[in-house]
Structure 1
Amino acid sequence: MATPSLPGGTTVDEIADDIYRISTPVELPGGGGFSFNQYLIADDEPLLFHTGLRAHFASVAEAVERIMPLDRLRYIGFSHFEADECGSLNAFLAAAPHAEPLCGKIAAMVSVSDYADRPPRALENDETISLGQRSVRWLYTPHLPHAWECGFLMETTSATLLCGDLFSQGGSRHPALTESDILEPSEAFRHKMDYFSHTRNARDMLEGLAALQPTTLACMHGSAWRGNGAALLLALADSVEHR
């Protein structure tokens, strides 16, 4: 399902049952486009993963409202502490009085407990929480691709991995969901921007993610992807190790 574009070109598309990609295109200074994606899991206790920049709050909030009342949000999660991941966190907390920030224990300790207007729900590695019909599992991946506090969420029913900055694709206009190759364009973008931390543990963590057998990868920048997620994650591990 897709909805008409919102102000700023923000779009909403269903990439798996009750999982929606909200995407805002931007043009960067000096030329070149980029996209900022959030993912909404509509359930009894809905979860928004990533908030977008503060400047994007109005359009992202309106996008959520296309699916459900904004004040029903229960969790506002993110991979790590950056403006595009959680810049609008406090605005969403104000709009959704029952919502909690959702992050790993390290993020809660170093940033979120001070920054957020309400205390975060801090997750242990492999901890699972129920959203109602669905559950999400926190996967701690320090420094993959960057930030000590980094981690991802796996929605276990649909095998959707909310994979943050992994497989980031440059450009502002992408299909919401693709089965085409995203490894080559995302690796070209990584080599240009050099945003991976070069942690020596990257292969082990990528192999751990591959073992979960995701079938949808919900990327923060560019298209979401559907297919053999294990094979794609292992191919990324090979590429990172070779580099």
Structure 2
Amino acid sequence: MVNVAEIAPDLYRLSLFVPQLNMQFNHFLVKDEEPLLFHTGLKAMFPPLLEAVSKIIDPASLKYIAWSHFESDECGALNQWLEVASNAEPVCTLVGKLVSVDDFSDRPARGMLPDDVLSTGKYRYRFYPSPHIPHGWDAGVLFEETTKTLFCSDLFHHFGDVAPLTTDSLIEPTTNGMQLLRQGPLAGYMPYTSQTEGVLRKLADLKPETLAVMHGASFQGAGDQLLLDLAEVIRVNFDGE
């Protein structure tokens, strides 16, 4: 079952909860002149997500399909979506396009740098590179400049079947989540490097007002302070020194 909630104007959160993992997998649909889907979901999740999208827009009208980094829950079902939406364009960071996506995808991707602007009609997007934050050399986060929404992928990852949107701080649930993720084979979940704090400070400078979180509740409020606080949470849990 897909839980659908509008968390900002024209922005729909499509959530699938997996009890075995105690974790939500969230996908975000922007309803605009040229609709955008952020996160394709896993291949097995494609049928219920397609049904959920079809209740909001005609899936064939999708123009952009974007994600943060090359990972199955981020872009595993990309080619299934491209089959449905014949005019859709994959969108990711330039590094992602060059090192993985154009070989995997049935259609070449638009590889974006921070100076590049993608317009869906009412809304304007930029991709900001965030290597290894949350994962991978190719990682980036998408920012919508009109509503100040940051599509932040695995940043603020937390567990549970939680509300679609909250105004409460995400720092405590994120800290609890990272304490679980740093154990055993998952110890390298999110590395802390000399660049971590600087990357998060640059994202905080965008002053996002909505954080669209992939695993857990999305947030509405002063996102800049949460991003600044997140650097310390990552350091405490994943700094190997």
TM class by smaller structure: over 0.9
Matching residue within 35, 42, 48 for 1:46: 35
Indicate yes or no: 2:185 matched with 1:214.
no
Aligned partner of 1:163 in structure 2 is 152
- C-alpha distance in 2 between matches for 1:168 and 1:81: 17
Aligned partner of 1:145 in structure 2 is 134
Indicate yes or no: 2:164 matched with 1:176.
yes
Kept in 1: contact 2:128–2:142 (CA 8 A)? yes
Give the superposition deviation at 1:90.
0.2
TM-score, length-scaled by structure 2: 0.93
- C-alpha distance in 1 between matches for 2:142 and 2:136: 16
Matching residue within 163, 175, 190 for 1:196: 190
Give the superposition deviation at 1:99.
0.2
Give the superposition deviation at 1:242.
4.3
Matching residue within 221, 231, 239 for 2:233: 239
Kept in 2: contact 1:12–1:23 (CA 8 A)? yes
Instruction: Output the amino acid matched with 1:185.
Output: P
Kept in 2: contact 1:218–1:225 (CA 8 A)? yes
Indicate yes or no: 2:7 matched with 1:15.
yes
Q: How does 1:1-80 map to 2 (within 5 A)?
A: 9-28=1-20, 32-80=21-69
Instruction: Output the amino acid matched with 1:204.
Output: G
- For the residue of structure 2 that corresponds to 1:67, the secondary structure is coil
Matching residue within 97, 104, 118 for 1:115: 104
- C-alpha distance in 2 between matches for 1:48 and 1:181: 26
Matching residue within 149, 171, 174 for 1:186: 174
Instruction: Output the amino acid matched with 1:238.
Output: E
TM-score, length-scaled by structure 1: 0.92
Deviations 1:85-114 (A, max 9, x none): 011100000000000110011111111000
Matching residue within 73, 78, 102 for 1:89: 78
Give the superposition deviation at 1:78.
0.3
- For the residue of structure 2 that corresponds to 1:98, the secondary structure is coil
- C-alpha distance in 2 between matches for 1:179 and 1:65: 29
- C-alpha distance in 1 between matches for 2:162 and 2:103: 36
Report the number of matched residues: 231
The root-mean-square deviation of aligned C-alpha atoms, in Å, is 1.1
Kept in 2: contact 1:12–1:20 (CA 8 A)? yes
Gap runs ≥5 in structure 2? 183-188
Kept in 1: contact 2:42–2:74 (CA 8 A)? yes
Kept in 2: contact 1:113–1:119 (CA 8 A)? yes
Give the superposition deviation at 1:186.
1.0
